[in-house]
Amino acid sequence: PALKLLRTGEAKIKKEKQNREELLKQLVIYGQKLAGLGFVIGGSGNISVRYGRAMLIKASGILLEEADKHGFVEVGIFASKKKGTLLPSSEYQLHREIYKARPDIHAVVHAHPVFATALACTNNKSLTYLGSELHLVLGSELGQVPYFSPGSGELARHAAAQMQCCNGVLLQNHGAVSVGKTLKEAFFRMRVIEHTIKVYLFANLFAKGNMKKLHLLSKKQIQQVVETEMGAYRQRFVQG
């Protein structure tokens, strides 16, 4: 019995190690994807995944485009425990509070895409009803969080509160955050946020700033698309 318990314990440790390595591999891949799209610049932006009662998050001072698996640090979600000598991203509180508020999600992406950040510097709220793609991928409306200092507890708490009903938010005068059951889903949601906002801004340009010339969809029209088989397929695809 003792030998069996020992082997079971060793197998569990091996599985956890493999799982951790796979998560780190995903963080490296999607970190490079974000950087390649220009969604982060310099040391800005950060991504993380849930790892048991902790999270693996980009370390402070590490560029996502250069980060390897050693560029991420393990930080407790419910306790201020940290492994290793690297400091976590200055936005670690933002990730931690979102994980605490949303036990159903396992990945957080925080980036500064140009168009999303530009829109976040305005008070415009018409974006949500420009098309159905955003709702299909987000599975919610795009939330908006008032301005608070980056890295602050206030920002973390208000963003987490908004994430109770949204899977993506704009941080006023700052950037955007998306979440998902997988890192792929959180990443794809960020891409769709930026794409939708780019379309919206060009539509505004063609309308010469006249909101009456923009054709916005109704909530009913959007919901009709979401409830189709195409809508269900799109959501399954994004989750991977």
pLDDT band at 231 (very low <50, low <70, confident <90, very high): low
- In this predicted structure, the answer to whether residue 164 has a pLDDT above a threshold of 80 is yes
What does the pLDDT average to over 56-78?
Answer: 94
- Give the model's pLDDT for residue 212: 74
Gap between the Cα atoms of 221 and 209, Å rounded:
24
Q: Could you count the other beta carbons within 10 Å of the beta carbon of residue 90? A: 14
Question: What is the per-residue pLDDT across 33-51, written as a single tens digit (0 to 9) for each?
Answer: 999 999 998 888 999 999 9
* End-to-end Cα spacing for the chain: 40
Q: What percent of the chain stands above pLDDT 90?
A: 58
Q: 3-state DSSP call for residue 51?
A: strand
Could you tell me whether strands 168-171 and 107-111 are parallel, antiparallel, or unpaired per DSSP bridges?
unpaired
What does the pLDDT average to over 55-65?
Answer: 94
Mean pLDDT of the chain: 86
Question: What is the per-residue pLDDT across 112-133, written as a single tens digit (0 to 9) for each?
Answer: 999 999 999 988 766 666 666 7
Neighbouring-strand partners of residue 168: 178
pLDDT band at 218 (very low <50, low <70, confident <90, very high): confident
Question: What is the per-residue pLDDT across 185-211, written as a single tens digit (0 to 9) for each?
Answer: 999 999 999 998 998 888 888 887 777
Tokens at residue 24, please? 């780190």
